[in-house]
Structure 1
Amino acid sequence: MNRNMPAAVQDRALQIAHHEMGHYVMARALGFSTGGVTLSVTMDLRHQGGASITLARPITSMEALTTYLEARMMVLMAGAMGQTLSSKQVSGSHVDKSKAVAILKGAQGAEQDYAKVKELQHLLRNITCQETDSTSSERIAAELKAMTDHVWTRAQKIIDDLADTITELALLLVERMVIVEQWGRSADTYEVVFTREMLERLPAVRAVPVLSVCM
């Protein structure tokens, strides 16, 4: 690890690195084009992170649309799932479901992911459950839950299967962080930028399997 980084900053950086690499690895596994990954953490533990994902994809049928929506939901869920993976052990780490749900629904930086998931949930339900009476709130709620549970289970299996890859990439991301001047303060921020080209040269990235969303 980065020995010059304060322990609290390092812990926060590892959490966010796992989050962003969760998004990144899930996106690659589901066939989205991916770009770079960025991460910055200040001494007072504010953070910014991002995984660049190209959402453009041909939609030529209703089946393709539902598959795309499911895949996009899985990518959004993957950040919170990845964030729960253990940084202490490289092998055998698995998603903590209750913690992942709390991260996704809480105010820990994943609230935008959750807002997008909720919008896509309703859009997907509107497409796949067209016969449902729009005034039947109980049935709509049940359909949303069943659909979301199904997508979550598939996403969690992928993150569990690729946990070692996510953890390896997260550790590498944090190891490369350097302190810089940012946000109007002098040298109080650790940051790193992995470009698309840098990532795609890594054996761990090249080994990510391309999976079908319809598992």
Structure 2
Amino acid sequence: MTNKMPRSVRVHAGQIAHHEMGHYVVARALGFATGGVTLTVTMDLRHQGGASINLARSISSMEAMKEHLEARMMVLLAGAMAQTLPSKPSAAKRVDKLKATGILKGEQGAEQDYAKIRELQHLLRNLAYPDTDPASSERIAAQLKAVTDRIWGRTQKIIEDQAETIAELAGMLVDNMVIVEQWGRPADTYEVVMAGQVLERLRVVQSISSPRVWTDSNSDVVPHWK
């Protein structure tokens, strides 16, 4: 059905498909169990999407707790980052940091991701710097930036290393969209559901690297959220 999809709808669907597959790929790379991915886009470019991720993990120490929270924050950051990857095959697969920050702050519907990230920022800072005076606002701001910059750099590395995988899966998602029949009025919504079992059988999914591959990465210029 996508050969009949208006170009503007297909372009927008492709961007949101990258967003959802960014969440999905980074979650798998970090060892989370994953389920299906869904996407809905209307003719007037409203959209809904989701990637099912199982957050249940065994946490037996404070270090394991920190690792889990960092991984969760990375998964949340991944969608906006992946959405900014260039669509042209010949273009360098680099995250556009300014665009990603704009998406997270609500320009294109990622407000829930941003709200969760903000909570995790503070929780991770509290764990990393337990002795900081709550009244030391400048020190707290610097600590928040240090936490966020490190996690941003790690996430960006995975997104850029896995850009081709994200693009391939996003393309599959869009290619499988169908228009929804609506009794009594013209159909105006395209949707797709790719079940977890279907994704698991794909060679491109099976080739996603294990979490041990990903190490800390220093990013050059990283946005800091106030």
Q: Shorter-chain TM-score: what band?
A: over 0.9
- Taking only the aligned residue pairs, the percentage that are identical comes to 66
Q: Which runs of 5+ in 2 are unaligned?
A: 217-226
Residue matched to 1:94: 94
How many Å separate the matches in 2 of 1:185 and 1:57?
Answer: 46
Q: What is the rounded CA distance, in whole Å, between the counterparts of 1:67 and 1:112 in structure 2?
A: 22
Distance between the aligned counterparts of 2:207 and 2:177, measured in 1? 24
Q: Aligned partners of 1:63, 1:184: CA distance in 2, in Å? A: 57
Matched, 1:191 2:191: yes
Deviation at 1:2, TM superposition (A): 2.5
Question: Aligned residue for 1:47?
Answer: 47
Separation of aligned partners in 1, 2:24 and 2:108? 19
The residue number in structure 2 matching 1:16 is 16
Equivalent residue for 2:132?
A: 132
What residue in structure 2 maps to residue 158 of structure 1? 158
SS of corresponding position for 1:124: helix
The one-letter code of the counterpart of 1:61 is S
TM-score, length of structure 1 as denominator length: 0.95
Q: Give the aligned CA root-mean-square deviation in angstroms.
A: 1.8
Does the CA-based 8 Å contact 1:92-1:163 persist in structure 2? no
Structure 1 unaligned runs (5+)? Answer: none
- Could you say if the C-alpha distance between residues 146 and 110 of structure 1 is closer, same or farther in structure 2, counting changes exceeding 3 Å? same
1:146 matched to which residue of 2?
146
Alpha-carbon distance in 1 for matches of 2:98, 2:106:
12
Distance 1:183 1:39, change over 3 A: farther
Give the drift of 1:120: 0.4
Q: 1:52 Cα deviation (Å)?
A: 0.2
| Counterpart code for 2:8 | A
Moved runs in structure 1, 4+ residues, more than 3 A?
181-186, 212-215
Give the aligned residue type for 2:111.
Answer: E
